[in-house]
């Protein structure tokens, strides 16, 4: 599943290749891919003729910013990909939505397993936080739904300048949840999934089952540095590809070979040589080094 670095790679590719392009027409081949507006015909009607001004990212979604202020959000989920196809390229049977650009190219939303979702929203939006557990309705028939609402329950971006070690410390304070569980919680911090949670904890030498409120100030600083470092390294390597993930050029990323613990069960730890172990935390496979990442038996 694409996480922050993979989605960031796609967004940067698209910024380079389709910023300024005009969407001449669109074709929806799998209606459920379109989350908003409904029905898909309305989506096609509203996106036709729009100009793409820039492409960015929030959490695990690609943001296609349109020149008139509206924003198209693309949540890639399990197997989604956004690929720019040159004129005359062979059709793709897994393309669920095709945007025909005025210059003859196509921006194809490809998704083998069809879990990804695309929405078209007004710009701006609410910034107030929604209480945990309260689900906001996605479509509000009486008013335009704004892109800010889509991310109303998401936590901060870990690579933002404002995401300081002090801010992380404040978010961890008073939380008894396990570190692995918290890192995967999108309302705690946005964009981190299974790969980079495991990598960050290994790098920070913290056991995945540590309770958040037991970390010393030094351990919080280590986690903060490690989280940002693993994400930055993965972006530099264009993301980690295990099965379906590709950049907008259709090529896989090179970061999978550079991971330290993820999917290395039984192999030697690259820091100490001890065998990497795998446990299940909240139904997710979790990889760690039992020597580098010990679990203290008593609360400090």
Catalytic residues: 2-3, 60, 284
Mark residue 104 as left, alpha or beta (left: phi above 0; alpha: psi -120 to 50; beta: remaining): left
Question: Which residue's Cβ has the minimum distance to Zn ion?
Answer: 269
Q: According to the binding rule CB under 5 A, does residue 289 interact with Zn ion?
A: yes
Q: Which window, 156-164, 184-192, 225-233, 292-300, contacts Zn ion (CB under 5 A)?
A: 292-300
Q: How far is the CB of 271 from Zn ion (least distance, A)?
A: 4
* 52 makes contact with Zn ion (CB under 5 A): no
291 scored as a contact of Zn ion (CB under 5 A) = yes
Cα–Cα distance between 139 and 20 in angstroms, integer? 29
Give me the least distance between CB of 215 and Zn ion, in Å please: 19
Q: How far apart are CA 221 and CA 133, in angstroms?
A: 29
Identity of the residue, 107 or 261, whose beta carbon is nearer to Zn ion in the bound complex? 261
Q: Toward Zn ion, which CB reaches closer, 113 or 274?
A: 274
Q: Which is nearer to Zn ion, 29 or 274 (CB)?
A: 274
Q: Are 201 and 290 in contact (CB under 8 A)?
A: no
Q: Estimate the crossing angle of helix 217-236 against helix 165-172, to 10 degrees.
A: 120
CA distances to 69, 105, 127, 153, 157 from 148, in Å: 12, 30, 6, 10, 14
- In the complex with Zn ion, which residue's Cβ is closer, 55 or 292? 292
Q: Is the separation of the CB atoms in 11 and 63 below 8 Å?
A: yes
Length of the chain: 300
Report the site for Zn ion in 180-209 (rule: CB under 5 A): none
Residues 252-281 binding Zn ion (CB under 5 A) are 269, 271-272, 274
Closest by CA position to 13, among listed 262, 245, 256, 257: 245
Residues 24-43 close enough to bind Zn ion by CB under 5 A: none
> Of 120, 197, 212, 292, which one interacts with Zn ion (CB under 5 A)?
292
Among candidate residues 128, 200, 195, 188, the one with its CA nearest the CA of residue 163: 188
The distance of closest approach from Cβ of residue 226 to Zn ion in the complex, given in angstroms and rounded to an integer, is 14
Distance of closest approach, residue 289 Cβ to Zn ion, in angstroms: 3
How many residues make contact with Zn ion (CB under 5 A)?
7
Helix (H) or strand (E) holding 120: strand 117-121
Closer by beta carbon to Zn ion, 133 or else 273: 273
- Stretches 238-246, 247-255, 258-266, 291-299: which one binds Zn ion (CB under 5 A)? 291-299
* Parallel, antiparallel or unpaired: strands 117-121 and 34-36: parallel
* Contacts to Zn ion by CB under 5 A: 269, 271-272, 274, 289, 291-292
């Amino acid at each position: 599943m694409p996480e922050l670095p993979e989605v960031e790679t796609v967004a940067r590719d698209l910024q380079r290749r389709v910023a300024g392009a005009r969407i001449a027409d669109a074709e929806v081949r799998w209606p459920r891919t379109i989350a908003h507006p409904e029905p898909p015909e309305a989506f096609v009607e509203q996106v036709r003729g729009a100009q793409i001004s820039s492409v960015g990212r929030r959490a695990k979604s690609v943001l296609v910013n349109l020149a008139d202020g509206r924003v198209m959000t693309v949540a890639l989920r399990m197997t989604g990909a956004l690929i720019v196809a040159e004129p005359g390229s062979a059709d793709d049977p897994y393309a669920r939505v095709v945007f025909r650009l005025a210059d003859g190219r196509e921006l194809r939303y490809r998704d083998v397993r069809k879990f990804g979702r695309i929405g078209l929203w007004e710009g701006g939006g609410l910034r107030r936080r929604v209480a945990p557990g309260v689900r906001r309705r996605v479509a509000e028939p009486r008013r335009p739904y704004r892109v800010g609402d889509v991310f109303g329950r998401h936590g901060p971006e870990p690579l933002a300048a404002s995401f300081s070690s002090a801010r992380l410390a404040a978010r961890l304070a008073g939380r008894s949840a396990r570190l692995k569980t918290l890192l995967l919680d999108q309302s705690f911090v946005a964009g981190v999934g299974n790969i980079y949670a495991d990598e960050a904890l290994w790098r920070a030498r913290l056991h995945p089952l540590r309770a958040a409120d037991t970390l010393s100030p030094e351990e919080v600083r280590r986690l903060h540095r490690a989280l940002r470092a693993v994400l930055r390294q993965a972006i530099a390597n264009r993301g980690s590809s295990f099965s379906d993930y590709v950049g907008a050029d259709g090529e896989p990323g090179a970061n999978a070979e550079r991971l330290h613990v993820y999917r290395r069960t039984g192999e030697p730890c690259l820091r100490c040589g001890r065998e990497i172990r795998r446990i299940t935390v909240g139904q997710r496979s979790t990889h760690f080094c039992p020597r580098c990442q010990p679990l203290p038996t008593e609360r400090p």
